[in-house]
Amino acid sequence: EWVAESNERIAETRAEGLARIAKLESDYARDRERAAGDHRDRLLSAAARLDAVAVREEQRRYATQQQEAEDAFNERVASERQSIAERIEQEREGHEERLREARQADQERIADMREAQAEQQRLEDEDRAIRLQRQAEDHQRQLDEQARANAERLAQISTQAAQERAALDEDFLQQLASLNLYNQHWLDLQKAKEKESLLSFERWWDAVNEQINATIQGPITEAEAWPTRFIVPGGGAAGAAPLANFGSGTTNRSVNIAEGAIVVNAAPGQNEAQVARLVREEMISLLEAVN
């Protein structure tokens, strides 16, 4: 578009210059014709007077005038042609300058557009990274919540299954017991419970014996001949009544502790502390019954 406009302006400049040159040529031709007519008139006038000197002077003047007019015309035409060439060159230089400025402006706009695009891309990348990070955090949070829920559910299922299994085992053992049928596992459990009960009673008896020994200043052992009497190291036998009334301040009561006097029925799954607690409760109940 700019090239077409430049060519159009150059053509207009050339046309204007040629029009001025044509006008100069027209004016020059008209002036020559007028000068030639005037020259003829002068010659005729001089010839009529038979003035040879005047004729010669007129011819010399006319020749000088024509030469000066031609020189002036040629100079004006050359000046006009030079002016046309200069204007055309200025137009071309202006066109090149406009092209350079346009290219520079285009390059600056392209650089600005690239910079703006890079900045926009950077902002979009940051926004995308933030969204992806938030999505990843939300996804991980959901996974953690699902994992916790699954773990809790599995724990509940395991606990419920263990409870159901224990209930089924207990019901099965009760059914076997009602039929006087015992499997080896049940027998092993009963033996373990009996062993734990005996150990708990021995520990309790050791504690009671320490208190009694501290009171009567000497260990007491069970008499071989009389299981319900005890031997005092100083001699003689201590009856069961004083021992049963140990710590009560009275001497008119007696307690007979024989084999099978304390019976503890432990349930499946009870630990040592629970069995010991049952033994203690049975002993307290026995002593309270005596008191």
Dihedrals phi, psi of 237, to nearest 5 degrees: -125, 145
At residue 118, the pLDDT reads 93
- The residue among 82, 98, 124 that closes a domain is 124
Of 88, 109, 124, the residue at which a domain comes to its end is 124
Distances (CA, A) of 99 to 2, 13, 92, 111, 112: 8, 20, 10, 18, 19
Residue 129 inside a domain? The answer is no
How many other C-beta atoms can be found within 10 angstroms of the C-beta atom of residue 6?
17
The answer to whether residues 62 and 99 touch, using CB atoms and an 8 Å cutoff, is: no
Predicted structure pTM score: 0.35
113 shares its domain with 209: no
Whether residue 71 lies inside any domain: the answer is: yes
Q: Measured between alpha carbons, how far is 205 from 243 in angstroms, rounded to an integer?
A: 12
For residues 118 and 188, state if they share a domain.
no
In tens digits, the chain (291 residues) has pLDDT values of 667 777 777 788 778 877 888 888 888 888 888 888 887 887 788 777 777 788 788 888 888 888 888 888 888 888 888 888 888 888 888 878 888 888 899 899 999 999 999 999 999 999 999 999 999 999 999 999 999 999 999 999 988 988 888 888 778 767 766 666 556 666 677 788 788 888 888 888 888 777 766 654 445 454 444 444 444 444 444 444 444 444 444 444 455 555 555 555 656 666 666 666 777 777 777 666 655
* Residue 156 domain-assigned (yes or no): no
Which residue carries 């703006």 as its tokens? 116
| Phi, psi of 245, deg, nearest 5 | -90, 15
Is residue 169 a part of any domain in this protein? Answer: no
**CA atoms of 208 and 218, how far apart (whole Å):** 13
Determine, yes or no, domain membership for 172.
Answer: no
Is residue 173 in some structural domain?
no
- Among the listed residues 221, 220, 204, the one whose alpha carbon sits nearest the alpha carbon of residue 287: 204
Please name every residue paired with 231 in a beta bridge, in sequence order, or none if there are none.
221, 237
Q: Which domain holds residue 192?
A: 184-290
Q: Can you tell me the distance from the alpha carbon of 231 to that of 186, in angstroms, rounded to the nearest whole number?
A: 40
Q: Are 48 and 58 in contact (CB under 8 A)?
A: no
Split into its structural domains, the chain has a count of 2
Taken in order 193, 196, 202, 206, the sign of the CA dihedral is negative
* Residue 217 belongs to some domain of the structure: yes
Give domain status of residue 206, yes or no.
yes
Task: Answer with the one of 82, 105, 124 that is the final residue of a domain.
Answer: 124
- Cα–Cα dist 2/97, whole Å: 11
